[in-house]
Homo-oligomer: A and B are copies of this chain.
């Protein structure tokens, strides 16, 4: 039985999941990867730094900074919690900008990647719709812009299948003409575990890399390509069927190891599925699913509501973080 065991076969766009998988159940620390975890009121904030090539290779992520907000209760529809997440996101995003040296006066282009016709891929366009844009005032009446508002523009470049143009080309064309100082790109992601869908927000200073996100974004949005920093904000909204299965097998393994007589018990129940590595197991699952064309990408039934809520959280948080004059407690007024 020959299997493709490459790390990326477990499809996740989340650095925290890549790290977890690299660590394994023993949670061994990984050289070159620093981690700082904080938790308040149901919101877990993980600040991950990939410091060098060793760390990068170990978890299969680019060198850079990753901040992740995990809020398991977020799918419950609690508007109070949503507002709190928005406020924490705004605070973390502001600190993130400071940490990587983005100035208070830097002009920003917000890029909403994804396809507005595909609900789980519409996060980017939805955030763009709710972003507070001001560049037109800076261009037309620069002396009348109130203090506390940064120069912000926003675009949803569409997807290759609808436009015939790579979104990175559209963005580059706009960057060439409008000269923003920094790009903030929003994209829907795939995660490894169902529980992280629509409950997790990732901020990263590594831009968008080819092949990440839901659609077929074939070329990336990175500082190398664009010549300016690109901060990526992502929310997982889908899972591969194969990773769900694999993830559940992993959970079963851990579950049975805890009840009964532990290891022996698990081995008895799960056979070889207990022994092999996560990658091998996933390869097995795929071997079964793919010939039948079953390796669907799935999203929760309630995606319409979830995506609206999380897009509002991200847009409100962004508006508060980017414009000093926008009060974090009052950001809702600027979104639809």
Chain A residues packing against B (C-beta within 8 Å): 72, 79, 117-121, 128-129, 133-136, 152-158, 160-165, 169-170, 172-178, 193-195, 197, 214, 238-239, 241, 244-245, 248-249, 251-252, 255, 267-274, 284-285, 287-289, 292-294, 296-305, 333
Contact = CB atoms under 8 A, between A and B. Distances in A.
Chain A contact residues: over half helix, strand or loop, or mixed?
helix
B120 A301 contact: yes
A162 to B, nearest CB: 7
Number of copies: 4
Given A119-B119, A161-B136, A174-B169, A297 B296 contact: no
B301 A299 contact: yes
A39 to B, nearest CB: 18
26 contacts: A72-B293, A118-B302, A129-B162, A153-B163, A154-B162, A154-B164, A156-B158, A170-B173, A170-B174, A170-B177, A172-B177, A173-B174, A176-B177, A194-B296, A194-B298, A197-B296, A239-B298, A244-B245, A267-B271, A268-B271, A269-B284, A271-B272, A271-B274, A296-B301, A298-B299, A303-B303
Given A297-B301, A300-B298, A152 B164 contact: yes
Nearest to A119: B304
Nearest 9 pairs of A and B residues by beta carbon:
A271-B271, A173-B173, A135-B164, A153-B164, A133-B164, A298-B298, A269-B272, A297-B301, A173-B177
A248 B301 contact: no
A126 to B, nearest CB: 12
Contacts of A305: 117-118
Contacts of A288: 248, 251-252, 255
A163 B154 contact: yes
Given A117-B129, A133-B164, A270-B273, 9 more contacts: A154-B163, A155-B157, A156-B158, A197-B296, A271-B271, A271-B273, A296-B300, A298-B301, A299-B300
A117 B117 CA distance: 14
Contacts of A178: 165, 169, 173
B136 A160 contact: yes
A165 to B, nearest CB: 5
A134 B165 CA distance: 9
Q: Which of A154, A162, A176 has the most CB of B within 10 A?
A: A162
B195 A294 contact: yes
A303 B119 contact: yes
Contacts of A297: 300-301
Q: Which of A134, A239, A304 has the most CB of B within 10 A?
A: A304
A289 B254 CA distance: 12
Contacts of A160: 136
B161 A169 contact: no
A279 to B, nearest CB: 16
B136 A252 contact: no
A268 B121 CA distance: 41
